[in-house]
Amino acid sequence: MGRRRQAVTIRHVAADAGVSLQTVSRVINNDQSVRAPMREKVQASIDKLGYVPSIAAQRMGGSRSWLILALNDRERTIADWKARQGTDWVDQLLLGGMLECAEHGYRLIFELVDTNAPDIERQLGATIAALQPDGVILTPPHCDDPRIIEAFRKHQIPVARMGSREEGEGLCVAMDEGEAGRLATRYLQDLGHERIGFIAGLRAYSFSSWRVEGWQAQMREAGLATEGLMAPGDFSYETGAQAARELLGRSPRPSAIIASGEQMALAALDVAQELGLRVPEDLSILSFDNTPLVRFTRPPLTAMDQPIADLAARAVRELILGRAGAGGEARVILLDVGLVERGSTAPPRRD
């Protein structure tokens, strides 16, 4: 077996070019203070040796770490992973965030944080000290947690609050959840539905309330009642099933249900079939998540298509370009949401 080829490091480049490590790092980081002849000399050594810059080498050239940190909810993410269900939110977050980081020579670091941990400030302090990120993306519910936001503000680290529109510091990048609730409701109304039920998500996530408010506003504008047509959930299958049984047990029952999450939509579909209701002939179901799961049900579920990857990419871009800020009033960027029509929705049956 041949000897393993030794990796080329910044030290090899410096020795070959006859310059300091700092000079090589400044060239890597495109520091304009390096004169053209010196830049060409260092670049020639880089090309000859086949050197690929590392984050450590980039850090030597200045104050940037070339890292963007993304924090997600620990409990829910691990629960999904252990259940082998995956989590499309995380997949799309990583897709958008990692690809955008790569465009700018950055790396995305993904961490899980327990909001309920009593030593959350200490944990964040250790993370900041170890990584020194140039910016951080906070996802629900962290994006609205003042302790977490303050921890980064103290270190003057810009924050992009993904999925939030609450008052506070940093950049807010979110889809228009209220308009999405209206769009879902209006779509079902255009099919002819009047009794449209809604299974709400966890209250700790502010977007849950915005979706409910959008549903309520659209129903109100159409002159339709909402009393007795909403049931609470927490995005889990179990609470979705309980909420669906509650709604479908009422008289008159709803002819359509909007579920604020794919697990609750799947539960509503199963409960409907258990009760002998045909979907969509007897009941239309609309999911607020367009995940792989909802595409392979029978029938496949009509769903709101959330631009999660685009949200993550926009958050990363604003952080890297220095447009998120490290303090002051929040700036809100809203992205549109789409709707994908499938076989779970149809006009209501007329008896």
pLDDT digits (tens, 9 = 90+) for 36-72: 889 899 889 888 888 876 655 555 555 678 899 999 9
Nearest CA-CA partner of 191 in 62, 323, 286, 53 = 286
Q: How far apart are the first and last CA of the chain?
A: 79
Count of other CB atoms within 10 angstroms of residue 105: 15
What is the torsional sign of CA 14, 15, 18, 21? Answer: positive
Which residues, 6+ apart, have CB-to-CB distance to 228 below 8 Å? 250
pLDDT digits (tens, 9 = 90+) for 288-343: 989 888 999 999 999 999 899 999 999 999 998 887 655 545 678 889 899 999 99
Q: What CATH code is assigned to 10-59?
A: 1.10.260.40
Q: Is the pTM of this model over 0.85?
A: no
Q: Across all residues in the chain, what is the average pLDDT? A: 87
Of 201, 126, 206, residue with least CA distance to 161: 206
Q: pLDDT tens digits, residue range 97-126? A: 999 998 888 899 999 988 778 888 888 888
Amino acid at 215: W
Which percentage of the chain shows pLDDT scores above 70? 90
- pLDDT score of 1 more than 50: no
What's the average model confidence in pLDDT over 124-141? 89
As a whole number of Å, the CA-based R_g of the chain is 25
pLDDT for 280 equals 97
Under the banding of pLDDT at 50, 70 and 90, the label for residue 4 is very low
pLDDT at 58: 56
Mean local confidence (pLDDT), 177-194: 96
Q: With residue 172 as reference, give the H or E element that holds it.
A: strand 171-175
CA distance 16 to 301: 61
Asked if residue 15 has pLDDT above 70, the reply is yes
Confidence of residue 2 (pLDDT cuts 50, 70, 90): very low
Residue 337 φ/ψ, nearest 5 degrees: -115, 145
Question: Helix (H, G, I), strand (E, B), or coil: what is residue 108?
Answer: strand
Give, in words, the CATH class of 177-305. alpha beta
User: Which has the closest alpha carbon to 192: 348, 314, 6, 18?
Assistant: 348
- Homologous superfamily, domain 67-175+308-337: Response regulator (3.40.50.2300)
All CATH 1.10.260.40 domain ranges of the chain, comma separated, are 10-59
Q: Which residue has the higher pLDDT, 136 or 142?
A: 136
Start-end of CATH 3.40.50.2300 domains in the chain: 67-175+308-337, 177-305
How many CA atoms are closer than 13 Å to the CA of 208, on its beta-carbon side? Answer: 19
What pLDDT score does 61 carry? Answer: 53
Helices 21-28, 10-17: crossing angle, 10 deg rounding: 110
Tell whether the model's pLDDT for residue 5 goes beyond 50: no
